[in-house]
Structure 1
Amino acid sequence: MRNSALIAAFIAAAIAVPSWAQDSAKPIRIGLIFPLTGGSADMGNSARIGAQVAVDEINQVGGYLGRKFELVIRDDKADPDTGLAHAKELVEKEKVNFNIGFCNTGVAMKALDVFQTNKSILVVTCATGTAITAKYPAADSYIFRTSARDSLQTQFLVDQIVNRGLSKVALLVDTSGYGEAGLKDLEAALARAKLKPQAVVRFKVGVKNLDEEMQQLKASGADSLIGWTVGPEEGVISASRAAVNWKVPQYGPWGLSHASAFTVSGGKVEGSMMVQTVLPNIFMERNSTFLRNYAKISKEAPIGSMMSAAQTYDSVYLMLRAMFDSKGDLSSAGLKKALENPSGTYRGVVTTYERAFSPADHDAISANMLWLGTWKNSERAYAFKDDERKASIIRRKEVAASPATAAVMPVAVTGTAAAAAKK
């Protein structure tokens, strides 16, 4: 088992752990809050399965000093009030050891105060709103994240478009809180490239057809399109772009990679491009092994959201490492300190984490760790074939002062992307 060596190494150091911490009668309880039903269920269920794969692996080799891991699962239905209620339940009543969750920024933002006020660790593995890790100063915050925040994704997309020689960008953005924040990040990224949107059109989440809006954008003379919304609506965008025969490149955030986008579009997402932290890669053992273990639990094809699954899987292992680094202090304060000061490297599915977090930075993903993905033959793939071969080269996290200052830093574009821009 590929992570058994990691666990064994920590156990070898367990002599230093106080005896009071070695209570094998009590499981380590992990609060899990994800949208398991509704429009965001593809990423929520993938995240749940990713967590289960990690827990199964850990429990098969004895858990944490004999204490098995146990998931306490709740469905937030992508509803902020439901998410808030579950957060209170898990933290105040269930008193779980730590929490992992949230796929929707609006749901996460409404629940954050529960974790911060109670000083209960929360690792956000899917939701990407920039404000999630910016609401509280990192030095005081109990909120961590392993997904790529929107300020990074928007800058990445704009850089990819500019390096392709395009300059007339149309924006099709939903009217949700996620869309509102994303639009601000997109406009800021365009401004840094000395560009203004060629056209901006808004729509409500839940829409089933965007042909009229797409015709409007097509008539604007735009040479590229960024659709900023969640999975099902990304599918509507792709279907409508095909319906009006508008052949400009289509870009989107990670939601464009969700299975719901593929399904709703009837496969019309083919060739569209999106931000990714991880993609299926047969050349990487830990990547392919994870996908095989995932398939033992779920046979879905394509996977609802590989990013959700892999980021959640890695988060469980990062928490396991923190538990050993804390020398048995499983209080939230002890785990926070351990997360911010890791003793070693963890080779995960998304990346190799040398120092995922620090006292000044609670975001595990930096700009240089992103990939441009695409839909190809009904599956996610690297937009640039050379990136697939280079993916095994570790992209070490760049140190940023804060999410706010990091947002103004342009994303480095690979040589492959630069070469493609000349074609």
Structure 2
Amino acid sequence: MATALLLGAATVPAQAQLGSTTPVRIGVVGPFTGPSADFGVPMLNGIKLAVDEINAVGGYLGRPLELVVKDDTADPDQGRKVAQELLHEKVVAAIGFCNTGVALKAMDLFQDGKTPLIVPCATGTAITAKYPAPESYIFRVTGRDALQAPFMVEEIVKRGWDKVAVFADTTGYGEGGYNDVVAALAAKNLKPVHVSRFALGVKDLSAELAAARSDGANVIYSYTVGQENAVIANGKKALGWKVPQVGPWTLSFPFFLDGAKDAAEGALMVQTFIAEPSNERRASFLSGYTRKYQRKVAVPMAAANAYDATYLLMYSFLGIRDGNLSGKAIKESLEGHMKTYYGVVTTYEKPFSAQDKDAITRNMLVIGMVKNGAITFAYPEDAKRNLIIHRKQ
């Protein structure tokens, strides 16, 4: 579907200053170098691809979108510093954060500054729960951990794995994910038979894995963001322990796929988007990304979520009747004044409201599986179901 048609479907402000060519400045913050760059860079690339398409058809009423990009290096203190810089540079809104701990450290700056922030990657449940929804300027276009954990626990129960070992890092992401997993297990009258917590950067978890095996675990639920997922998989292989590994979307990252190689085969993870061209919009996105960056997308979910977040922000601009892109006006437009956006991940029909700042609902999630070093659908019926666009429930 052509970008011009997509934007043409949106409401054009009645009183906007059509003569202005001043760029509309949008902040972008994420880990573009450092330990989380493997999904921070695809996020940035998805945003840039969307902005290029929008600017090619005139931007916002003749005003080009201009990105102000800041690298948080996955460090909470650096994230707060660059968030302050963005706000000083007078961006009208921002898209960003891949790491939950970084987001939680910096979010208050956007909230206090009444500058809308759309989070396309960080999944920590607390991100959209920190502020009362009607007052919150924090929006999200990815499945929060409180959705992902119960979805995967249902998969675990369905497969008959009733002795769960939880391996979670000690970051804000790991802590929040651990709590969501334990709560989801409790809802099924289960509790972990073994728990291991570890710092980022750990190189050897063989002792912890041996303990989990001794405790009778028949599945490992790993909740960490980087190469530690591969440490777990390789450690299992070294022990000759063929227990399955499951987790959130981080099991689709290159750190895991490349770091674990054959030890990653069969791992299951929660996904909002799997890189298969099941409709025209997805095919256009995947081919456009490959053409622009001369490579396939490394973390498709990060790129697709960010791409859609960028278009949702643009649609919010077009929903403001007088063309005044104030933070309050953008917030209110995101909450219900936009036309439907036919996106890559899903169709966004009223994705947000004053009471709900999460665009992704459970019906949009699927179980992905590592097969031959790539992510595909765990179930053929999900691949067929992916042909149908699922609206928010």
TM class by smaller structure: over 0.9
Letter paired with 1:177? G
Aligned to 2:53: 57
Q: Separation in 2 of the partners of 1:199 and 1:377?
A: 30
Give the superposition deviation at 1:177: 2.0
Aligned to 1:17: 14
Relative to structure 1, is the Cα distance of residues 72 and 343 closer, same or farther in structure 2, using a 3 angstrom cutoff? closer
CA deviation map 1:316-347 (0-9, x unaligned)? 10011111111213111111111001443211
Letter paired with 2:54? I
Aligned to 2:249: 254
**Residue 315 (1) aligns with residue 315 (2):** no
Percent sequence identity is 47
Aligned to 1:74: 70
Contact 1:104/1:126 (CA < 8 Å) preserved in 2?
Answer: yes
Aligned to 2:276: 281
CA deviation map 1:75-109 (0-9, x unaligned)? 00001111101111111x20011100000001000
Relative to structure 1, is the Cα distance of residues 115 and 23 closer, same or farther in structure 2, using a 3 angstrom cutoff? farther
Match of 2:236 among 234, 241, 244: 241
Q: Separation in 2 of the partners of 1:208 and 1:298?
A: 32
Aligned to 2:24: 28
Give the superposition deviation at 1:265: 1.5
**TM value normalised by structure 1:** 0.90
Q: Separation in 1 of the partners of 2:299 and 2:378?
A: 17
Contact 1:51/1:316 (CA < 8 Å) preserved in 2?
Answer: yes
Q: Within 5 Å, which residues of 2 pair with 1:312-391? A: 312-327=306-321, 328-391=323-386
SS in 2 for 1:255: helix
Give the superposition deviation at 1:267: 4.1
Give the superposition deviation at 1:379: 1.3
**Residue 142 (1) aligns with residue 145 (2):** no
Relative to structure 1, is the Cα distance of residues 342 and 271 closer, same or farther in structure 2, using a 3 angstrom cutoff? farther
Q: Separation in 2 of the partners of 1:24 and 1:65?
A: 8
Contact 2:277/2:286 (CA < 8 Å) preserved in 1?
Answer: no
Structure 1: runs of 5 or more not aligned: 399-423
Q: Which runs of 4+ in 1 moved over 3 A?
A: none
Relative to structure 1, is the Cα distance of residues 321 and 186 closer, same or farther in structure 2, using a 3 angstrom cutoff? same
Contact 1:129/1:149 (CA < 8 Å) preserved in 2?
Answer: yes
Relative to structure 1, is the Cα distance of residues 159 and 68 closer, same or farther in structure 2, using a 3 angstrom cutoff? same
Structure 2: runs of 5 or more not aligned: none
CA deviation map 1:256-291 (0-9, x unaligned)? 111121122134212100010010122222112111
Aligned to 2:214: 219
Letter paired with 1:243? A
Aligned to 1:133: 128
Letter paired with 1:322? S
CA deviation map 1:39-82 (0-9, x unaligned)? 10011000000001101111111111001111111100001111
Q: Separation in 2 of the partners of 1:311 and 1:112?
A: 19
Give the total of aligned pairs. 392
Q: Separation in 2 of the partners of 1:234 and 1:297?
A: 30
Give the superposed CA RMSD.
1.4
Contact 2:261/2:373 (CA < 8 Å) preserved in 1?
Answer: no
Q: Structure 1 residues 200-209 or 117-126, which shifts more?
A: 200-209
Contact 2:316/2:334 (CA < 8 Å) preserved in 1?
Answer: yes
**Residue 182 (1) aligns with residue 185 (2):** no
SS in 1 for 2:70: strand
Letter paired with 2:63? R
Q: Separation in 2 of the partners of 1:22 and 1:315?
A: 25
Give the superposition deviation at 1:24: 3.0
Q: Separation in 1 of the partners of 2:389 and 2:21?
A: 39
Q: Separation in 2 of the partners of 1:236 and 1:24?
A: 54
Give the superposition deviation at 1:245: 1.8
SS in 2 for 1:364: coil
**TM value normalised by structure 2:** 0.96
Q: Separation in 2 of the partners of 1:106 and 1:23?
A: 42
